Amino acid sequence: MITQQTNSRSIRYTMAVTAIGVLLLGVYTFFALAARDEIYYLCGNFKAGVSHSSVLRQLETVNLSAYRVENSEQGERVIHSSALHRNLLRCEITFDQDRKVRWAIYQ
């Protein structure tokens, strides 16, 4: 009888832990997909000729991602990515000398 009660508790505990794990995975997946969409759709807005200020103004609206500005010998570029994807999905926006978008690449 004691063994049967112990097995019953063990099964309920395992089911509860599994349910919590599935719930957490579902929540993570929801936010990860939303972050991916945020990066993808914003990157589509950055066509050649868009001003630097317009790019930054749009990137200020993000909720699930972030951006950083880098200066290099080739010029300025903005990297827009999300920690939810370990920054593997990203949009690289490169500017010309007039601070207009040269190109934006979604990777």
58 phi and psi, to 5 degrees? Answer: -70, -40
- Residue 87: helix, strand or coil by DSSP? coil
Tokens of 57: 């103004």
Express each pLDDT in 34-51 by its tens digit: 999 999 999 999 999 999
Tokens of 95: 């500017």
Query: For every one of its 107 residues, what pLDDT tens digit does the chain have, with 9 covering 90 and above?
Result: 556 677 888 899 999 999 999 999 999 999 999 999 999 999 999 999 999 999 999 999 999 999 999 998 888 999 999 999 898 999 999 999 999 999 999 99
Q: What is the rounded (10 degree) CA torsion for 9, 10, 11, 15? A: 100
pTM above 0.85, yes or no: no
Domain map (residue ranges) of the chain: 2-106
Chain center to CA of 70 = 19
